[in-house]
């Protein structure tokens, strides 16, 4: 295997940012326009995630590989012209192996051509505030005018983390199944050596040198650091480690997270239709309906109905009750009307509990004090109803338990119908923390996965732990 060509002429630039707030903690030549190399693929993947979320394409969409994509130079997956492969495998290859043929195929699948996709990349970059970036391709191979800065790439990395947390675990996978091959991460040495490191993207060309946008999380702190123009992989990793350490020293232990505003998805220069609803006005007051006029002479029943409609029923009833009471007192031989009985009745006596015997006679009496009933201790037995609910689903592997639990909660809220009754479980292993939903039937797990995949969430079925 040939050793990588060392780059000695590439200018150096760097940026360190507190990812939670966007505060710049350190910069050097951060606005110098340089060749980004494969850092470009962060934008390619960002737009792929965006297109999935918008329903333009799905993870399972079959992508036909063009002659252009197949002819891209290494690093590549080795795709052949005319071959068909699911989009999910192209995303894994571009994120983990930094495959150029996969990146080109993603761009063509979403926008129809590399040129159209580059225009969308530039529109998205402008919407993010990446003012010194210009893209010409989806992979980052050296091309005249294809330039960016350390500041802009740091901004882009922050958007990847916060705008699509459900996909961010891709950038920390040491290996991944890319359909036609298992690919290995281009930055696994740094990820394995730096505590909390979980991404994001490497890049190298002779013109660019060794570039890296990296992120790490320790507790509630997250730092992003970017390096342009490293002279070798080891020199780049050493420098990014120094920048990361500087970032964690300077970043406050607690800070309010101010997420970046996601850019609006753009297609052919215009916003995607049917995605934004704007309220044109608000109701400022609600007028009470005008009461209907009441004729001077109406039958008794009509008077009552009219009284209800004009909010004077209480006055009518009040006068009726008062008149009935006066009449009853003046003529004691006449039974009092119903209204009088209601107003003068004694408190109701609570009947005895059933059963009654045939000769039981209920006699009105003064209410007896209610005896105090001492509750006997109860033994509650839960009967298992799981039956065949021995299946589960996995929605990603994360570097911290907090991240895994956060994703589980988000997915559970979004898919309450299909995940009803499922148990959220975080399982730690050597590669990180698996976010699982357990206690599903096989059919339920399959349905939940298909629904999640349709919404753009990566998911696969798992059997119960034995």
Whether residue 111 lies in the annotated active site = no
Are residues 224 and 19 in contact, defined by beta-carbon separation less than 8 angstroms? Answer: yes
Q: Check 98, 172, 215, 418 and give the catalytic one.
A: 98
Whether residue 430 lies in the annotated active site = no
Are residues 351 and 424 in contact, defined by beta-carbon separation less than 8 angstroms? Answer: no
Are residues 167 and 46 in contact, defined by beta-carbon separation less than 8 angstroms? Answer: no
**Which tokens go with 441?**
């039937």
Whether residue 280 lies in the annotated active site = no
DSSP for 57-86 reads --TT-EEEPPHHHHTPPSS-----TT-EEE
Sign of torsion over alpha carbons 217, 218, 219, 224:
negative
Residue 133: closest CA among 66, 57, 226: 226
Strands 23-28 and 423-429: unpaired
Q: Check 41, 76, 97, 201 and give the catalytic one.
A: 41
Measured in degrees and rounded to the nearest 5, phi and psi for residue 291 equal -65, 145
CA distance 202 to 384: 50
When computed from its CA atoms, the radius of gyration of the chain, rounded to whole angstroms, is 35
Are residues 216 and 195 in contact, defined by beta-carbon separation less than 8 angstroms? Answer: yes
Are residues 36 and 177 in contact, defined by beta-carbon separation less than 8 angstroms? Answer: no
Residues annotated as catalytic (active site), given as ranges: 38, 41, 98
């Amino acid at each position: 295997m040939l050793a990588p060509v060392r780059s000695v002429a590439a200018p150096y630039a760097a940026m360190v940012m507190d990812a939670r707030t966007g505060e710049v903690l350190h910069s050097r030549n951060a606005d110098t326009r340089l060749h980004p190399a494969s850092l470009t693929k962060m934008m390619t993947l960002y737009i792929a995630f965006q297109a999935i979320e918008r329903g333009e394409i799905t993870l399972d969409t079959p992508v036909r590989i063009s002659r252009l994509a197949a002819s891209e130079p290494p690093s590549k997956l080795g795709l052949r012209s005319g071959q068909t492969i699911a989009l999910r495998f192209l995303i894994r290859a571009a994120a983990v192996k930094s495959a150029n043929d996969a990146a080109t195929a993603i761009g063509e699948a979403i926008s129809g051509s590399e040129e159209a996709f580059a225009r969308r990349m530039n529109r998205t970059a402008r919407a993010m505030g990446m003012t010194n970036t210009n893209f010409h391709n989806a992979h980052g191979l050296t091309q005249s005018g294809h330039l960016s800065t350390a500041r802009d790439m740091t901004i882009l990395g922050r958007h990847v983390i916060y705008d699509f947390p459900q996909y961010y675990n891709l950038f920390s996978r040491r290996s991944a199944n890319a359909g036609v091959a298992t690919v290995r991460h281009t930055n696994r040495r740094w990820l394995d050596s730096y505590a909390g490191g979980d991404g994001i993207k490497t890049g190298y060309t002779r013109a660019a040198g060794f570039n890296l946008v990296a992120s790490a999380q320790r507790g509630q702190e997250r730092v992003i650091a970017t390096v342009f123009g490293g002279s070798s992989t080891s020199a780049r990793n050493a420098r990014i480690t120094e920048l990361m350490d500087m970032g964690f020293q300077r970043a406050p232990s607690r800070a309010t997270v101010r997420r970046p505003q996601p850019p609006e998805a753009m297609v052919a220069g215009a916003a995607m239709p049917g995605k934004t609803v704007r309220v044109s006005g608000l109701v400022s007051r609600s007028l009470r309906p005008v009461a209907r006029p009441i004729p001077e002479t109406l039958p008794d029943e009509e008077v009552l109905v009219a009284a209800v409609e004009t909010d004077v029923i209480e006055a009518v009833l009040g006068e009726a009750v008062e008149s009935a009471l006066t009449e009853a007192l003046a003529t004691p031989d006449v039974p009092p009307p119903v209204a009088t009985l209601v107003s003068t009745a004694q408190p109701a006596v609570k009947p005895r509990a059933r059963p009654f015997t045939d000769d039981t006679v209920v006699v009105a009496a003064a209410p007896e004090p209610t005896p105090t009933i001492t509750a006997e201790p109860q033994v509650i037995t839960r009967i298992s109803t799981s039956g065949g609910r021995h299946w589960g689903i996995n929605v990603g592997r994360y570097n911290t338990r907090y991240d895994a639990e956060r994703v589980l909660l988000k997915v559970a809220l979004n898919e309450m119908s299909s995940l009803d009754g499922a148990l959220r479980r975080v399982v730690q292993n050597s590669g990180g923390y698996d976010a699982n939903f357990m206690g599903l039937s096989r059919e339920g797990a399959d349905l939940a996965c298909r629904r999640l995949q349709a919404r753009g969430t990566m998911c696969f079925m798992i059997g119960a732990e034995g």
